[in-house]
Structure 1
Amino acid sequence: MSEQSVAASVAAVLPGARADLERLVRIPSIWADPGHADDTRRSAEAVAELARDAGAADVTIIAADGGAPAVVARFPGPAGTPTVLLYAHHDVQPTGGDEFWTTPPFEPTERNGRLYGRGAADDKAGVMTHLAVLRAYGGRPPVGVTLFVEGEEETGSPTLPALLRSHHELLACDVIVIADAANPAVDVPALTTSLRGLVDVTVEVAMLERPAHSGVYGGPVGDALTALCRTLATLHDADGEVAVAGLVHGTSEAPDVDEAVFRSDVGLLDGVQLIGSGTIPTRAWAKPAVAVLGIDAPRVAESSNVLLPRARARVGMRLAPGDDAVKAQRALADHLEANVPWGAHVTVTPEPGIAEPFTIEAAGTAYDAARRAFTEAYGNPAVETGIGGSIPFIAEFARQFPGAAVLVTGVGDPASRWHGIDESLDLAMFGRAVLAEALMLAELAGE
């Protein structure tokens, strides 16, 4: 199929792909919430149905013990061509409060060329990118394709290693394309080559056996929440640099980004300073970051004049490429234990599901093919980029299939607000992403 024919076929399938993306967005597949377990199963069944309709030779829904359902669909290619594994995930993040959205999170809505809804970008757009490509080829792609759509990425893919081991032969491949990252702009394609790691801990501070009257005992006796806050404040120095000892701090050679654009993308309030030092790519991709993710304490409306006996918080830490997640998690725990004031008792519990940082060598036939295809589809050269987030399963894919080239591509942009309120997908970029992947398969086939 010529490049012009591929482009025409992609254009023909885009309206249907858009409609099916909206159908998937309407399913609240929040695997992290047990109340949505059935919705996640329904989402997997919908993806399986779409794969069958796209012409898959066989479709299977698989799951490990206690894990979410994943979909595997195979599209055999001509003899002698490589097999490409196309990955995306159909589970989504919680909404963060439906009342904060401009329009309901599970009712896809178009505004100014963007489709709004939870999962519209992360990562049901990735699912439909793959399916649209397969439809454009009439279910007969120029290479062998295995579509793998996971159902628990947003909870750290805890059962993915078991799935890959149990179905190793079914998922064996030469190239892995992971459509779960972002582009720096809607018309600039990216190949993500570095990702930060992630570790979490829960820290609990105890000072009293029971609540005590703040008037009778306050002064000589402190409260656990204040002690916890003082502990958490030691995680950064005065400039906002992470103060945990023993972590890897790297640098990025990527050009700096416009600070005004960056501030607008993230929604930073007027007058609020950026923290840390170095270029924005260095701070966002190559250095550690610590955030307090939640605190267990009485709500203001439910509080009273008592000294709190206990308080606890969840702390998350992103790790620079080159760091070791287990050692870094221990360093975070050591720091918290060493910085609790007033002799308060402290318990730090490492959370499971750590994610190792990962660096990809962007060289070889698959990357050459991707660069040509993405440059043609987007009209701008593909750039190599880092990502501040973590995708734990990438390292697992590399371990399970050491001979396969791993490409991490983008279906979002800085305005997509992944995991946030009013998540959205630029629809023109969605079309470019489909065309880029379709052209890449042709390149990999040598056409």
Structure 2
Amino acid sequence: MSTVFNFTFVPWFRSVAPYIHMHRGKTFVVGLAGEAIAAGKLQHIAQDLALIQSMGVRIVLVHGFRPQVNEQLRVKNHPARYSHGVRITDEVALDCAQEAAGQLRYEIEAAFSQGLPNTPMAGSTVRVISGNFITARPVGVVDGVDFQHSGVVRKVDVAGITRTLDFGAMVLISPFGFSPTGEAFNLTMEEVATSVAIALQADKLLFLTEVPGIRVRAGEPEAEDNPIDTELPLAAAEALLAQLPPAQQATDVGFYLQHCAKACKAGVERSHILPFAVDGSLLLEIYVHDGIGTMVVDEKLEELREAVPDDVGGILQLIEPFERDGTLVKRSRTEIERDVANYTVIEHDGVIFACAALYPYPEARTAEMAALTVSPQSQGQGDGEKILKRVEQRARGMGLDSIFVLTTRTKHWFLKRGFVQVDPDWLPEARKRKYNWDRRSLVLVKRLA
């Protein structure tokens, strides 16, 4: 039994090590929906956040309290009122919000204070510090609706939050803001988390929500043939938002997506929408390659893009050393010039650092990814994965079911990223006729879910 465990645990632990190193010292802002706490998920989420912090990540936790406030209002027989997707906070609702926030703050602090033996919190020391980090102003009157004590973020105390993080503590922020005159305003968790992430220029913004992520066919129900889109470039997210009706509720497709896009546009490189219903979703998203939710990525168009004729020289210069040592099959300049539209490249300051070509076989609903190359100067920085993701998106856009590669030396890199080895007879007939049996390349295939 222990031998089997060793064979599963050791490779797994080694596989997550690069992500542990990558995220050490980074700042993550986590937006925790009040629905997650109402569903009884707080204890496990706190354990996961404590574990993530123990691996060197600086965490700002912003909690929501929508269902808790609505429950307080129900007890007081007072209606919950909304307009434009925002709560109208009258005196009674403000009182309920303050009660709910106080109760939740104590519950969250208690969850991080556990340290029973034989639990994930054993031996952990998590200092949770909250405070008046948010200055707010009133929403005011919009389209004739007076939002009363509802507010929007005016300023984030970046210096105060940063000092607290430097102290080694986790920062806890409730969705409240205060005016210079001491007046309290009820804010939305989503706006607070986004504003804090932008102000801190955080490395990640993660929403733990009732929404599982953005589906490939947005707005359609969950189904085996409609999976979560695990990575969404900022441009694609903005295009999708432009097609959707205004998001009013947390269950609307664009509700969290609009905040993720806003954060990415303002300098937060990666924003995530994760389902709290899946136990350990934070760990799965941060430390596993494909993650579990939807990640909106700010990919600068001038860095990751389809190739143009002017890139031919840079592509040749990049792949030539790998052709020389036999890693890649040699390609002539004429061939690359002819096929340049098939290439995707990563370019920075006029230099091509990575490339790959996509050759479709529509009759077999598949395509070959060829000449995947990353400069030795940038290896280990994720450029290969960025190129792979973009090639997968191009293949999906063509309506293809899979992509395949032929390789002699990089089998394990592809296996770790969802490819499986198949017999060369699997190849489309047109590609099989060009297969070099002397080279004995392995054929690896990845299904495009």
Decide: shared fold, TM above 0.5.
no
State TM-score, norm by structure 1: 0.21
Question: For the pair shown, which has the larger CA radius of gyration, 1 or 2?
Answer: 2
Q: Which has the higher helix share?
A: 2
State TM-score, norm by structure 2: 0.21
